[in-house]
A and B are shown apart, each in its own frame.
Chain A
Amino acid sequence: MDVAVFWVLAVLAVAGAVMVFRFDSMARATFSLLASLLCVGGLVVLLGLDYLGIVIVLMMTIEMAIMAVFMVMYMMNPAGLMPMTMIHNKKGAAVVCGLVFALLAAGILLAPWPARRGKAPADPTMELGMSLMGPQMLTMMTLGMALFATIVATVVLATRRGRYDRFGDDLRARRADDPVRGGVGR
């Protein structure tokens, strides 16, 4: 049963990934990528890491929905009426892909995989979390804060209207001058 599920999900994941580059519409490519990632989430569940698998489904769905907006936004032809292609620099891309594939496949075949010692833990997610986070909690927390600071900094750098535009040159305006009013009455 597990083997059958594995093959179905694996084939669907690879097929979805291939279709990303075959479709000529940005919306289809995006959601074909989402289908592929959902299958990967299913494969992770199959490994016994239920929590991680479900979180992958959750994150990827939301992420791809947002991605669809950005990808359509940055397209040369946002209406999507004319056929587009996801492939550029075809020869170079083919060479790079072939090399990476060969490298990864060689790694899989040549790596000395350790034999299983002991039994699988009762809660693999917990064990994975402990081995990832346990001794390195401080690193993870720092990393989280650094990522968050990056996001805030990017938004601050990208925004066109700063506080001087909103509150005047001396920041004395009682009401922010916004093109669209928010919900808190500012």
Chain B
Amino acid sequence: MVERTPLWAVFVLPALLVGAALVTAGFDAVLAAGARRGRPGSLRETAVRAVEPGRQVLRHLVQQPRRTRASDLPLARIGAGLLPVAAVLAAVVLPLGFRSVSDLPEGIVWFNAMEALAWAAVWLAGWGPNSTLSLIGGYRFLAQGLAYELPHMLAITTAALGAESLRVGEVVDAQAGLWFVVWMPVAFVIYLLSAMAMAFWGPFDQPAGRDVAGGAGAELSGADRVLFLGGRWLLLVVAAAFSVPLFLGGGHGPLLPGWAWTVLKTAAVLAFLVGVRRAIPTVRMERYLELAWVVLTPLAIVQALVVAVVVLNR
């Protein structure tokens, strides 16, 4: 059972997430540099690469902000600021070990609702600057959202169905014996795909793609840019971390304490996702839309049906 958490956890949570996001971004930067040179660099070079995301943050913060003509600045600011806020709010129900900041009775729906705020955030950030390329990026994210959201909802519902509860703590408890990934592999794979799609990252980075000069974030500068691109990393970390209580047994595991297992599993999922980004090229959202609706949604429904039958016969 998930225990109550002291109030200071509310302040620790964003710091932990930002730390995890910086580490992930650093790891990605090291891999990117290695791929560019075709060989892993020396230890010193690796260290320099790993702190590159942090340096970029500082550089953006001191940079002269750029403005576009006739931009809707409040809307762009709200959009850029909403992305990290949505990620942190979604993380409220994430258990570290067996403790989460708030184990809401409807935790899974809460997570889904908060990550849906990213739809509004990315579109606003794309619309606000009054620039064609960023507007294209914003619209692309909505199209991508229509593609990933349906199988995604079915996948997280399947985990809730297996535990017969929407409370994340009870989903973790239900996996004390057998992890859900073992008997819900399809839902797990679909969840990982949609985790990347909702952070418009990796193979699903077209909303902020290079072909539209950075898409939704193209015209953002200064602190807005840090919030938007940082929020995207936060969203990726939170989405990856949520797969651990949903499918990978949460804090359950031998020898080590619960929090250590959560961190280890989250790190493994994140490392896998970062590796996938290197291995798979960008997928256009209209191609993913057809795949999602014609293949993934029926698969997810069949998976939910199997789980429902198992649960009914228990």
A residues bordering B, Cβ < 8 Å? 25, 27-28, 31, 34, 50-51, 54-55, 57-58, 61-62, 64-66, 68-69, 81, 180-184, 186
Contacts and interface: CB of A to CB of B under 8 A. Distances in A.
A68 B120 CA distance: 9
A72 B123 CA distance: 12
Contacts of B70: 81
Interface size class of B (residues with CB under 8 A): 20 to 34
Contacts of A55: 109, 113
A183 B116 contact: no
Contacts of B289: 182-183
Contacts of B287: 181-183
A52 B150 CA distance: 19
A58 B105 contact: no
Interface in B112-170: 112-113, 116-117, 119-120, 123-124, 127, 139, 142, 145-146, 149, 166
A62 B152 CA distance: 14
Interface in B276-298: 283, 286-291, 294-295
B3 interface: no
A94 to B, nearest CB: 29
A27 B119 contact: no
B104 interface: yes
24 contacts: A27-B127, A34-B120, A51-B109, A51-B166, A55-B109, A55-B113, A58-B109, A61-B116, A61-B119, A62-B116, A64-B120, A65-B142, A66-B142, A66-B146, A68-B123, A69-B139, A181-B287, A182-B290, A182-B291, A183-B286, A183-B287, A184-B291, A184-B295, A186-B290
10 closest A-B pairs (Cβ-Cβ)? A182-B290, A183-B287, A58-B113, A183-B291, A65-B119, A183-B290, A57-B113, A61-B116, A54-B109, A51-B106
